[in-house]
Amino acid sequence: MNGNLKIALQKKGRLTDKSLELLRLCGLDIENYSERLVVTARNFPLEILFLRDDDIPEYVKDGVADIGIVGENVVIEKQFPIVTLQKMGFGRCSLVIAYPDIPGKAVASPVDLNNKTIATSYPVILKKYLEENKLEAKIIELSGSVEIAPSLGVADLICDIVSTGNTLMMNKLKKSFKIFDSEAVLVSASSALKDKKKNDLLNELLKRIRSVLRARSSKYLMMNAPKNSLDAITKIIPALKSPTVLPLADENLVAVHAVIPADQFWNIIDDLKSAGASGILLLPIENMIE
């Protein structure tokens, strides 16, 4: 026990690089870990434990790690009593029902699941879905390669994680509907850690993570505007706070700066231009402290 906060990350997989990138954006200096099991940040009392994603919920529950970053799908499937402190905005995927792309086999709606066999690596989530929707289907639990179950005659349908849909296509399967949306989450055994010092470290880390996530979903918008259309332009800008207006050498113009939700830019650009805005710039924000 050295008082360091311990975080479990996926050792090698889809969440590894994005988890490390996020911690680095939080200002943590983490060396390239290659094959080591534990790495300590150089400038923050944080130890990183690299584990298989399936093991992370249990290690967090047992207190081997104080916190962990893992897919929500794994957290729910494992059913351990752990809490989600923060959604991380990456590792997005869905658990979907898919069926063989052959005439007469289409699954259009949930009732079509009745009396079918469904192969999945997520029996807990699927069972819950079937129960909630009063559907009767047989679940075949497989630990991997679920997508080949229909062609092997093991199951009628599958229930599997999909992101691009390429794997389904390659296996001549069609997506029917989704039963669960997932993304990476930061989890802990309880909402506050028992050790006061560690809990302070956790709160500091959470503050930084939230600032990075806020910054990621926002952009800094800058433009020049004729003074007489300032009112019209500020009405168009979906600013999170009141825009900053600055004088320019040309007295007829002002500079307008605002933080906007990243996904709104393309919706407002034509309106801004029609209202007379010029020299429009959109910049990324690295950090946003509240």
**Interaction partner, residue 66 (Zn ion, ligand PRT, none; CB < 5-8 Å by kind):** none
Task: For the beta carbon of residue 62, count every other beta carbon within 10 angstroms.
Answer: 10
Q: How far apart are the first and last CA of the chain?
A: 33
Size of the chain, expressed as the number of residues it contains: 290
Counting residues that bind ligand PRT (by CB under 6 A) gives 21
For residue 17, give the H/E element and its range: helix 16-25
CB of 161 to ligand PRT, least distance (A): 4
Select from 30-38, 51-59, 232-240, 274-282 the region that touches ligand PRT (CB under 6 A).
51-59
Choose from ligand PRT, Zn ion, none: what does 77 bind? Cβ within 5-8 Å by kind.
Answer: none
Which residue lies nearest ligand PRT, judged by its C-beta?
Answer: 71
SS3 5: strand
100: partner contacted, choices Zn ion, ligand PRT, none (Cβ within 5-8 A by kind)? none
Nearer of residues 9 and 275 to ligand PRT, judged by Cβ: 9
Name, in order, each residue with C-beta under 8 angstroms of 240's C-beta and a sequence gap of 6 or more.
218, 258, 259, 260, 261
Residues in 160-219 that interact with Zn ion by CB under 5 A: none
Select the residue interacting with ligand PRT from 57, 91, 100, 150 (CB under 6 A). Answer: 91
Distances, alpha carbon 193 to alpha carbons 6, 187, 198, in Å: 11, 12, 7
Part in contact with ligand PRT (CB under 6 A); list of ranges 124-132, 154-162, 218-226, 248-256: 154-162
Q: Between 71 and 243, whose beta carbon lies closer to Zn ion?
A: 71
Residue in the block written with tokens 């069972």: 127
Tokens of 113: 């699941």
Q: Which is nearer to ligand PRT, 182 or 188 (CB)?
A: 182
The span of 106-114, 151-159, 160-168, 261-269 binding ligand PRT (CB under 6 A) equals 160-168
Q: Is 53 in the site for Zn ion (CB under 5 A)?
A: yes
Tell me the per-residue interface mask from 9 to 38 with ligand PRT, x by CB under 6 A, - otherwise. -x--xxx-----------------------
Helix, coil or strand: residue 177: strand
Task: Report the nearest approach of ligand PRT to the CB of residue 113 (Å).
Answer: 19
Q: Tell which one of 163, 190, 217, 274 touches ligand PRT (CB under 6 A).
A: 163
CB-nearer residue toward ligand PRT: 44 or 180: 180
CA–CA distances in Å: residue 2 to residues 5, 37, 44, 47, 188 = 9, 17, 13, 10, 19
Question: Residue 256 in contact with residue 245, Cβ under 8 Å?
Answer: yes
d(CA 270, CA 290): 31
Cα gap 18→90, rounded to integer Å: 7
User: Residues 36, 42, 52, 197: which binds ligand PRT (CB under 6 A)?
Assistant: 52
Using CA atoms, how far apart are residues 124 and 79, in angstroms rounded to an integer?
A: 8
CB 271 within 8 A of CB 279: no
What residue ranges bind ligand PRT (CB under 6 A)?
10, 13-15, 52-54, 71, 73-74, 91, 93, 160-167, 182
What residue ranges bind Zn ion (CB under 5 A)?
53-54
